[in-house]
Amino acid sequence: MFEIPAVCDKVHVTYRLSQQHFPLFSIDITKKSEQIYSIWQQSFFVCHWMLQLLYFH
C-alpha cells in the first residue's frame, strides 16, 4: 500500500493504492462541500488514468 497525492481541479486528492488493481481514495476537501461532488466527478477519470500510468508502468 502506498499513497500518491494529487491536485485535480484544485481539489487535493490522496490515492491509496493497494495490491489490488483499484485505487482506494480519500479526499482532502479544500472547497465548499456543495462544489466538491461535480468537481470530483469531472476530475476523477483524468486523475485515475494518470495514476494508472504511474502505477502499472
- Give the model confidence (pLDDT) of 8-54 as tens digits: 555 555 555 544 444 444 444 444 444 444 445 555 555 655 555 55
C-alpha cell at 25: 481514495
Give the model's pLDDT for residue 8.
Answer: 56
Give the model's pLDDT for residue 6.
Answer: 60
Residue 36 sits in which domain range? 2-56
Give the model's pLDDT for residue 3.
Answer: 57
Tally of domains in the chain: 1
| Element (DSSP H or E) covering residue 57 | none
Report yes or no: 17 and 55 within 8 Å, Cβ to Cβ.
Answer: yes
pTM above 0.75, yes or no: no
